Amino acid sequence: MEFKTLANTSIDEILSVFNHSFSDYIVPFYLTKEVLISKIAAEKLDRNISVGAFEEGRLISFILQAEKIENGEKTIYNGGTGVVPESRGKGLVRKMYDFIIPLLKERSADLLLLEVIEGNQAAIRAYENLGFTMVRKLNCFNGNINSGKGNTTVTIKELTALQWDKFMPFWDIEPSWQGSVFILEDMLKDCLILGAFRDEILIGYIIYNPFSRKIYQIAVDKNHRNQGIGTRLFDGIKEISEGQTIAFNNVHDTSENTYTFLEKTIGLNNWLSQFEMKRNI
């Protein structure tokens, strides 16, 4: 058995092992090459700091990772761990981390971050045994947006820039990796941003990718909540998406009001939940 980074491993080989690893997963799924390439680009996954286990030169397990520096702290994000079914039970995830952590220390990394599906007890126990602790629960929603019931007294306009100085004061929580400032800064060309205005003042916004049909962020000024502003923003996405199914992943599970809003008012289904886990290096 050999452990090394994925710097010289082809996308095709990673794709093959990725799909084989997740074929019997708690939520089975299959990626095309185009979707994997898009995931790597969108999540800023870096094969130079990703790791694989190789048996007789053949990839059998991997951890795909990305890196960001924020507030002086370097975080390494696990964007996907896979082990082919016939090689499970050999402690490969621990062995891959044992290999890659010294290299991450050389890069002055401070923190490991990942998400694991609620109900995947084997993975949760494995990560806890590796020193990870649960930080928060993240809910994933999908479905068709209900017919418009939003506040029609506000004006909805398309924005051409990510106005973080105006957006961030609306936040109650920090977005997860996929919806973070770090990720979205490089995705502007793929995203549509709608702003809600009252008397020409921005009071809410939503960020949506029409290609993947994913919502990354929505927030409303605290002084204008419970007035149909969020619903009005979703009305705008419903019109743009022409009624197609949309997804809104990794919504922080802290507010019963947000959960009720997305399910009862907007009509989305909480089809999956994940735990965000962290570990100091």
Residue 257: per-residue pLDDT: 81
Total-model pTM: 0.92
pLDDT digit string, tens, across residues 134-191: 999 999 999 999 977 788 899 999 999 999 999 999 999 899 999 999 999 999 899 9
Place 46 in a pLDDT band, splitting at 50, 70 and 90: very high
Domains present along the chain, CATH in parentheses = 2-109 (3.40.630.30), 141-275 (3.40.630.30)
Does residue 34 register a pLDDT over 80? yes
276 has pLDDT over 90: yes
Q: Are 148 and 235 in contact (CB under 8 A)?
A: yes
Report the C-alpha gap between 52 and 37 in whole angstroms.
18
pLDDT digits (tens, 9 = 90+) for 98-114: 999 999 999 999 999 99
Q: How far from 73 is each of 79, 110, 111, CA to CA, in Å?
A: 18, 6, 8
Residue 29 pLDDT class (50, 70, 90 cuts): confident
**Average pLDDT along the chain:** 94
27, 272 Cβ separation under 8 angstroms: yes
Asked if residue 254 has pLDDT above 90, the reply is no
Question: Which of 114, 119, 117, 174 is closest to 140 using CA atoms?
Answer: 117
Whether residue 258 has pLDDT greater than 90:
no
